[in-house]
Amino acid sequence: MKITEVKITVLRVPLSEPIKASFGYMTHRMSALVHLATDTGITGVGETWINFPYWNYKERVTTVTDGLRPLLLGEDPLRINYLWEKMYSGLLGPFRQYGCESALFQAISGVDQALWDIAGKELNTPVYQLLGGKYNDRIPAYASGLGPKLFPDIIESCLNRGYRAFKLKVGFGEELDEQNLKTLREMIGDDATLMIDANQAWDVKEALARINDYAKYNLLFVEEPIPARDLAGYRELVENSPVPIAGGENIYGKENFKTALANRSLDIVQPDLTKTGGLKETRDICSLAACWRIPYALHMFGNAVGLLSTLHLATAVPGGLYQETDANPNPLREELLSEPLKFADGCFYLSEKPGLGVELNDDVIREYSYS
Ligand SMILES: [Mg+2]
pLDDT at residue 55, as a whole number: 94
Q: Which amino acid is located at 105 in the chain?
A: F
Q: How far apart are CA 170 and CA 195, in angstroms?
A: 10
Do 109 and 294 contact (CB within 8 A), yes or no? no
Give the Å distance between the CA of 299 and the centre of ligand 1. Answer: 7
Across the beta sheet with 3-21, what order do the strands follow? 3-21, 24-38, 43-48
Q: Is 222 helix (H, G, I), strand (E, B) or coil?
A: strand
Give the Å distance between the CA of 29 and the centre of ligand 1. Answer: 16
C-alpha 13: how far from chain center: 18
Q: Which residues of the chain have pLDDT under 70?
A: none
Give the Å distance between the CA of 360 and the centre of ligand 1. Answer: 27
Q: What is the CA radius of gyration of the chain?
A: 20
DSSP class per residue in 269-329: E---TTTTTHHHHHHHHHHHHHHTT--B-----S-HHHHHHHHHHHHHSSSB-PEEEE-S-
Give the Å distance between the CA of 71 and the centre of ligand 1. Answer: 32
3-125, which class in CATH?
A: alpha beta
- Which residues place a Cβ less than 5 A from the ion ligand 1? 197, 223
CA nearest to 47, candidates 111, 116, 117: 111
Q: Which secondary-structure segment (H or E) carries 253?
A: helix 253-262
pLDDT at residue 319, as a whole number: 97
pLDDT at residue 17, as a whole number: 87
Domain ranges of the chain: 3-125, 129-360
- Interval 332-342: pLDDT, tens: 999 999 999 99
Give the Å distance between the CA of 318 and the centre of ligand 1. Answer: 22
292's torsion region: left (phi>0), alpha (psi -120 to 50) or beta?
alpha
Q: How far apart are CA 278 and CA 285, in angstroms?
A: 11
Cα separations in angstroms, 167 against 22, 220, 299: 14, 9, 12
Q: Is 353 helix (H, G, I), strand (E, B) or coil?
A: coil
- Interval 210-224: pLDDT, tens: 999 999 999 999 999
Q: How far apart are CA 330 and CA 154, in angstroms?
A: 12
Give the Å distance between the CA of 302 and the centre of ligand 1. Answer: 12
Architecture of domain 129-360: Alpha-Beta Barrel (3.20)
